[in-house]
Amino acid sequence: MPFSKDLKYDPAITEALAENYTSIIEGAGEDVNREGLLKTPERASKAMQFLTQGYEQDAEAILKGAMFAEDYSEMVIVKNIEFYSLCEHHLLPFFGKAHIAYIPEGYIVGLSKIPRVVDVFARRFQVQERLTDQILNSIQKTLNPMGVAVVIEAQHMCMMMRGVQKQASVTTTSAFTGAFKSERTRNEFLKLITSDLT
């Protein structure tokens, strides 16, 4: 099932989450019956379900649904994939770009499926390090290519809005398998994702 703003919301889950959001709003000292907040618990409930719909998605099934036998064996890169996720420590957003490459060995995958795999894992409670590994491992396991590379650059609202309050900080994580363990191949990938070829 694709990610959609028209997600079908389970009424029981929506109601239960809305009740919890009502308690949170009241706990913060607000009047949940104030005009501007009357529908906020339900809206927040649906927003949370949308932001965590990745739990209902299967990355391997998405990839297997668009695998094609092909002799191509050079690097395939999809870069600047925007994503939004929720930090599991504070439930605040972190967001940025993912850069992904693989070197096919018998199979390629439809290019749109790679950003969808990013969303499958981003639309969960996450830490950036795990997100990086989950994307890498799902592609490696499903396509069995000669190697996979993933680099993620993200800004974390838990660092920007609270805590150290450093608005310009960017966190970078990376993971590599197979051919990308070679310094030469890895450096080619890193050069390509930082260059502007257009």
Active centre residues (catalytic): 87-90, 128, 156, 158
What one-character-per-residue DSSP string does 25-43 give?
HHHTT--TTSGGGTTHHHH
Instruction: Say how far apart CA 24 and CA 26 lie, in whole Å.
Output: 5
Diameter of the chain measured on Cα atoms: 63
Q: Could you report how far apart the first and last alpha carbons of the chain are, in Å?
A: 33
SS3 142: helix
**Tokens 């719909």 correspond to what residue?**
53
Smallest CA-to-CA distance from 68 within 143, 136, 124, 158 is with: 143
Instruction: Say how far apart CA 43 and CA 35 lie, in whole Å.
Output: 14
